[in-house]
Amino acid sequence: MSTILITGASSGLGAEMARQFSAHGHDLALCARRTDRLEGVRDEILAAHPERRVELRALDVNDDAQVFEVVRAFRDDFGGLDRVVVNAGIGKGAPLGTGRYDVNRGTAMTNFVAALAQAEAAMEVFREQNAGHLVLVSSMSAMRGMPKSMTVYAATKAALSHLGEGLQYELLGKPIKVTVLHCGYIASEMNERVQQQVRFLVPTEQGVRAMVAAIEKEKAHAYVPALPWTALAPVMRHTPLPLLKRLR
């Protein structure tokens, strides 16, 4: 049994990870802005697994000071943290130069700057413990620059993936592990508006099952679900842009 902190745990992938990790025997530290939704997730987990410990805290990941405060408070609650899953993020965006810098800036701040704060806070705990497992939830869009409304989102995920790889490089041979998850199309509240237009979309439970399996194995990098994304990753990364555009 270990203690897992999940950000953005009130819905979607975060809430489903909480359900599945609890079924695997882990205690949970869950945080998000919507505490009423968090309470519902907690109540559901405890009804199914009354032996689990589930602690909740409100967190706006764009509040740097609150990020460090919440991570340290959970550490104190449990006497340490074994794993931190940096999951909170948004999928908004607009083509550059179309007057929606506010939307693109918000995506950049939430998906990378706020993720950096979460990683900093987690690594602070892990360095003190000389142990821990940091999980960064990235995206298959990190494989390549993306057009139109996806441009900034993809750039933030590429930055997050490189952040994780840099830590892996530094921590080789040490007891602190880092996993970068490149997620394909998994149904969630964030993408529910476009689900009918997306190929290779899998239900939330199925997609998260693949995420949890990769996390439990402490893989350095994982494409989830493995099929078709493991095969598509090199295609996405190396196909010339004119051909890639025709394939979309």
Tell me: cis bond preceding 175? Omega within 30 of 0 counts: no
Please tell me the predicted confidence (pLDDT) of residue 196: 46
Q: How far is Cα 127 from Cα 125, in angstroms, rounded to an integer?
A: 6
153 given a catalytic annotation: yes
pLDDT at 73 over 80: yes
pLDDT tens, position by position, 80-121 = 999 999 999 999 999 999 999 999 999 999 999 999 999 999
Q: Where does residue 69 rank: exposed (0-12), middle (13-18), buried (19+ CB within 10 A)?
A: middle
- C-alpha–C-alpha distance, residues 129 and 125, integer Å: 6
Answer whether residue 149 shows pLDDT above 80: yes
Distance CA 192, CA 175 (A): 38
**What pLDDT, on the 0 to 100 scale, is given for residue 189?**
73
Question: What is the rounded average pLDDT for all residues in the chain?
Answer: 94
Please tell me which residue in 101, 153, 185, 223 is annotated as part of the active site: 153
Half-sphere exposure of 185 (CA within 13 A, CB side): 14
